A = this chain, B = another copy of it.
Amino acid sequence: MNTLGSFTIRKLTGLSAFRTGMFRLLRSVSGITVFLMGPILLVSQGTRDYNPKQMAIREKVFNTIVSCFKRHGAETIDTPVFELKETLTGKYGEDSKLIYDLKDQGGELLSLRYDLTVPFARFLAMNKISNIKRYHIAKVYRRDNPAMTRGRYREFYQCDFDIAGHYDPMIPDAECLRIVSEILGELDLGDFHIKVNDRRILDGMFAVCGVPDDKFRTICSTVDKLDKMCWEDVKNEMVKEKGLSEEAADMIGQYVSMQGGMDLAVRLLEDPKMSQSKQACAGLSDMKQLFSYLELFQVTDKVVFDLSLARGLDYYTGVIYEAMLGPAGESLSVGSVAGGGRYDGLVGMFDPKGRAVPCVGVSIGVERIFSILEQKAEAEKVRTTEVQVLVASAQKNLLEERLRLVTELWNAGIKAESMFKKNPKLLSQLQHCEESGIPLVAILGEQELKNGMVKLRTVATREEVRDSCVCVCVCNSLIAIKSRQC
């Protein structure tokens, strides 16, 4: 399809239907391309529906994450999916071109939120909140090139946890790292590690290596590419594209290859060059402090002080971090699964008097996690409902009795259903249980009805009991099934 010019593509209404795959819309008839029009059956590029199985996986991941956030005492907030365009302007640097704007339909100029951090800062300033520990789970929007098999979408979830307030240094920062570690551990994604660095250490390093002040941010962006490019290419970009001197680049090269723990911070504090930068020293002392708290939080084995970590966003002012799957030094291709850092200046940008509220936070990259877990679950059977019992009938003309019984079960708070047919076959009722994993069937028959009883069958074992007190019987059987599974 790429041979069609974009003009042609735009002129053909409904053309996006050719991507549906449900029926052939495009044929080549003696060399002439013919479009067969049909209903539109698509979602927008870079977005997707979640089917029930995917939703079951998503719910499990969210439950793990929210439990962790709540264990750490967070409240939650929500903000609108779109913000005034001005709110987002000037916050994302080059990436601003990826913001989705709404059409001007007469009224305000609006944009879809790009992350949850800027709306959070706006919320704090607008409500004059100077300290809060909050989480926010919601979708954000970026007009980026999607790579959907690797979990990169244009509409995707972010799970953010942030701590705002004036506190003693590095305590909230360390708690954020503990949270990342708890979540990635509990999600059972295999080995992982978290890289940390500090924007002040980076800036100090740039200064002592002789990078001119006005090139800090652009050189920082180049350093950020070290996870995807080799050092030679990164150096090339610095020297040839960004006009840095070869000596400065080489010196940076030495530093960014360093990895370690508290020991590295101690060593660099004594480094003849680094120690000349006040900024670097402030960052390094805090890094030392951070590692001492990480020790108390029992997560030092997961955290690596890595001078090559730079992070893309402009608003970071202190500690930054990024979590990768795989053991340290062997990041898997999936990219980072969590990231964040300290941003002490953002709230002040929204405050009329510029009052700053220091913040530190972390964002869990759940889409990549979903992708991994979905691939793992491909062959598995995942239950998508929680029905505990199906009310079935063995003979015809028992619809009323079934509906009466299912009502009793609902009244008792039991998750139950009955088929929407007047006379379903027993076999198809039992098949439905097996397909959707319903553990129990309550079977009504004329004989049982005469005796005021019901037959309860455990689907997996085919064991049967007869009882008159169906609700109690269902509850007991469910407890029995549960204890057998334990």
Instruction: Give me the interface of A with B, judged by CB distance under 8 Å.
Output: 6, 13-14, 16, 20, 22-23, 38-45, 47-52, 55, 58-59, 70-84, 86-87, 100-108, 110, 112, 122-123, 125-128, 132-134, 139, 141, 143, 155, 163, 165, 167-168, 171-172, 175, 178, 182, 293, 296-298, 349-352, 384-387, 399-400, 403-404, 407, 410-411, 413-417, 420-422
List 9 additional contacts besides A43-B126, A45-B108, A59-B76; criterion CB under 8 Å: A39-B350, A40-B350, A41-B350, A43-B80, A52-B76, A58-B78, A167-B420, A175-B420, A297-B407
Q: Chain B contacts of A168 at CB under 8 A?
A: 420-422
Interface residue from B76, B84, B385 paired with A42 (Cβ < 8 Å) = B84
Name the CB-closest residue of B to A297: B407
* B167 and A22 contact, CB distance less than 8 A: no
* B43 and A410 contact, CB distance less than 8 A: no
Q: Which of A22, A298, A403: most chain B Cβ within 10 A?
A: A403
**Shortest distance from the beta carbon of A299 to any chain B beta carbon, whole Å:** 9
* B414 and A39 contact, CB distance less than 8 A: no
* B293 and A403 contact, CB distance less than 8 A: yes
Q: List 25 A-B contacts (CB under 8 A).
A: A13-B86, A16-B108, A22-B128, A22-B352, A40-B350, A43-B79, A43-B83, A43-B126, A44-B108, A45-B108, A49-B127, A58-B78, A71-B416, A72-B410, A75-B385, A81-B112, A82-B155, A100-B105, A101-B102, A101-B103, A102-B103, A165-B420, A296-B400, A297-B403, A298-B411
**Shortest distance from the beta carbon of A39 to any chain B beta carbon, whole Å:** 5
Interface residue from B44, B86, B110, B417 paired with A40 (Cβ < 8 Å) = B86
Q: Chain B contacts of A6 at CB under 8 A?
A: 106
* B70 and A385 contact, CB distance less than 8 A: yes
**Shortest distance from the beta carbon of A432 to any chain B beta carbon, whole Å:** 10
**Shortest distance from the beta carbon of A441 to any chain B beta carbon, whole Å:** 13
Interface residue from B14, B70, B407 paired with A296 (Cβ < 8 Å) = B407
Known: A79-B49, A163-B420, A414-B71. A42 touches B126 (CB 8 A): yes
* Measured CA separation A14–B109 after assembly (Å): 10
**Shortest distance from the beta carbon of A51 to any chain B beta carbon, whole Å:** 6
Q: Chain B contacts of A83 at CB under 8 A?
A: 43-44
Q: Chain B contacts of A123 at CB under 8 A?
A: 49
* B39 and A73 contact, CB distance less than 8 A: no
* A78 and B105 contact, CB distance less than 8 A: no
* A384 and B414 contact, CB distance less than 8 A: no
Q: Chain B contacts of A38 at CB under 8 A?
A: 352
* B296 and A384 contact, CB distance less than 8 A: no
* B75 and A55 contact, CB distance less than 8 A: yes
* A403 and B296 contact, CB distance less than 8 A: yes
Q: Chain B contacts of A126 at CB under 8 A?
A: 20, 22, 41-43, 49
Name the CB-closest residue of B to A411: B298
* A349 and B49 contact, CB distance less than 8 A: no
For the complex of A and B, 4 pairs with smallest distance between CB atoms: A167-B420, A52-B75, A47-B80, A73-B417
Name the CB-closest residue of B to A384: B75
* Measured CA separation A16–B105 after assembly (Å): 16
Q: Chain B contacts of A349 at CB under 8 A?
A: 39
* A104 and B103 contact, CB distance less than 8 A: yes
Interface residue from B20, B52, B351 paired with A77 (Cβ < 8 Å) = B52
* B40 and A55 contact, CB distance less than 8 A: no
* A80 and B155 contact, CB distance less than 8 A: yes
Q: Chain B contacts of A77 at CB under 8 A?
A: 49-52, 55
Q: Chain B contacts of A55 at CB under 8 A?
A: 75-78
Q: Chain B contacts of A75 at CB under 8 A?
A: 52, 55, 384-385
* A80 and B49 contact, CB distance less than 8 A: yes
* Measured CA separation A165–B419 after assembly (Å): 11
Name the CB-closest residue of B to A299: B407
Interface residue from B22, B78, B415 paired with A70 (Cβ < 8 Å) = B415
* Measured CA separation A87–B105 after assembly (Å): 19
Interface residue from B102, B139, B417 paired with A72 (Cβ < 8 Å) = B417
Interface residue from B133, B352, B384, B385 paired with A23 (Cβ < 8 Å) = B352
